[in-house]
Amino acid sequence: MDREFDLDPGLLTRVWKRVEVEAAEPPASDREIPREAAALGAFIRRAAGAGGMYERLARRTQGTRAQKELLALARQERMTERELQARRLVLFGDTLALPPAGGAAPALLRALKESMDAELANAAAYEAAAAATGEESLRGLYQKLAGRERRHAGVLRGILERAVYG
């Protein structure tokens, strides 16, 4: 049987203020990267802060219905954090928000990102060559190879996202 929600009414506010302060100042690396990457970093820190807050609140509500609800919120915030981390890595090759332990090594992730970027560049080069050639057989070959390079990039993107997102 669940007990009533018996938290001090000001506890949520106090915990949130503490977590918000911890995540308020973006790291210097965020100030040197594109606006979209900085925005992703801010969202990642917010989700991480909220997830941590919900986990701490859940520990204070042992055996209650509120604990189950807070743990569900924490899981959702952690999932949001991982999704944002994965997209930031794929788009910008930035390892700022990677999990500190248990994930793939940052050097491996950077190598995968560089390989994905190279596959996309190759696809673009094949597409440009296809558009520029007057030889029909070459155009077909270049278009086929461009598609293959894009599929390779898609596979690498999936690997990167799974490495971060799980």
**115 pLDDT tier (thresholds 50, 70, 90):** confident
pTM here is 0.50
Higher-pLDDT residue of 60, 8: 60
Grouping H, G, I as helix, E, B as strand and the rest as coil, residue 91 is: helix
Question: Angle at the Cα of 84 (from 80 to 89), degrees rounded to 5?
Answer: 150
> Beta partners for 64?
3
In the prediction, which pLDDT does 110 show?
Answer: 78
CA 146 to CA 124: how far, in whole Å?
7
Residue boundaries of the structural domains of the chain: 11-92, 106-165
DSSP letter string over 128-155?
Answer: HHHHH---HHHHHHHHHHHHHHHHHHHH
